[in-house]
Amino acid sequence: MTAGGSTRSRRGLLYLTAAALAVAWLLPGRPVPIYDGIGAPDEPYRYVSVPPGVQIRTRPPTLAKVTVPVERGVASVVELFTSEQGPQAEADITGPSLLTVPPASGSTPAPRSITVTLTPLAPDPADPQIDGNIYRLTWVAGSSTPTFHNNGADLFYLRATVGPPPRATFLYRHGPSEPWRAVATELAGADIYSALIQGAGDYALTRRPFPAAATGNANSGTSPWSLILVTILILAMVGAVLTIRLMRIRSAT
């Protein structure tokens, strides 16, 4: 490659890099760029209504809202999360299961989009001891209500007000007048819990024992498969280091 060609090539790479950065920053996504593998600590929990005895002053919690197009009666992938660092609530509705909407009937055209919303609410004094806010998941498609078909992989995430222990349990109710029920809960991070999306309705965390609480077994212990996998990966690493070293020695001689 000539010097002029090299300069042109580098200039082209520089333009490509600037374009890639501009596109990446313009894409909707989490508000904070993540460059490295050590997660920055979360900002203090934002309450809708700060509980008695908690000394904290924050901005109000954010709601999340996303409108997704409907194709052949099915909405595409929906991922929405609130804008705190890190998000206090997130709903990932993926795959083909999704939200189907009623077809056109008579003079009513079929909806072209679905709007999914996550709204933070303050717990009612009558509620069980809830850790943080209640998050209400709703979806609408024009004047109709879409139907949800859980494919077993659609998850709701909530960040607890502080990290464990004690572990928290997910609570769900279809509407404000219905009772809370516990749902199988997984620990998805130091202070993040996940549960299968049950449908539209209210989601919250509690740290108190709850009747019929069914919790997942994430982090309940190290499985033997994990140990075997770690051993294999360490051996592969050692093998790679030795092989590369030997190759360099041979090429030098």
Partner 1 sequence: MNGGFPPPRAMTAPLTARTTILLLAFACAVCLRSVLSGASGSESMSAGLVFAGCLTALGVAAGLPAPRRPMISVLSGTLGAAVLTVPALLRADPVSLAQRPIAGFVPWIAVAATVAVTEEAFLRGTLFGLITQLHGEAAAVLVSAIAFAGLHVPLYGWHVVPLDIAVGMLLAMLRILTGNWCAAAVAHVLADAAGWWL
The reply on whether position 240 binds partner 1 by CB under 8 A is yes
**Residue 30 in the binding site for partner 1 (CB under 8 A):** yes
CA distances from 131 to 48, 54, 145, 202 (A): 12, 12, 30, 14
Residues 61-100 that bind partner 1 (CB under 8 A): 79, 84-85
54 binds partner 1 (CB under 8 A): no
Which one of 25, 71, 175, 253 is in contact with partner 1 (CB under 8 A)?
Answer: 25
Binding flags for partner 1, 171-210, as an x/- string (CB under 8 A): ---------------xxxxx--------------------
Among 7, 8, 24, 49, binds partner 1 (CB under 8 A): 24
Give the amino acid at 236. Answer: A
* 6 counts as binding partner 1 under rule CB under 8 A: yes
157 forms beta bridges with 90, 194
**Residue 247 interacts with partner 1 (CB under 8 A)?**
yes
Cβ(137)–Cβ(91) below 8 Å: yes
Write down the least CB distance from residue 235 to partner 1, Å.
9
Sheet with 74-75: list strands edge to edge.
147-148, 99-100, 74-75, 64-71, 113-121, 134-140, 201-206, 169-173, 181-183
Of 4, 52, 53, 59, which lies in the binding site for partner 1, with binding defined by CB under 8 A? 59
Q: Which of 7, 8, 10, 95 binds partner 1 (CB under 8 A)?
A: 10
Rule CB under 8 A: is residue 8 a binding residue for partner 1?
A: no
Which residues of the shown chain bind partner 1 in the complex (CB under 8 A)? 1-2, 6, 9-10, 12-14, 16-17, 20-21, 23-25, 27, 29-41, 43-44, 57-59, 79, 84-85, 186-190, 218-219, 226, 229-230, 233-234, 236-237, 240-245, 247-248, 250-251
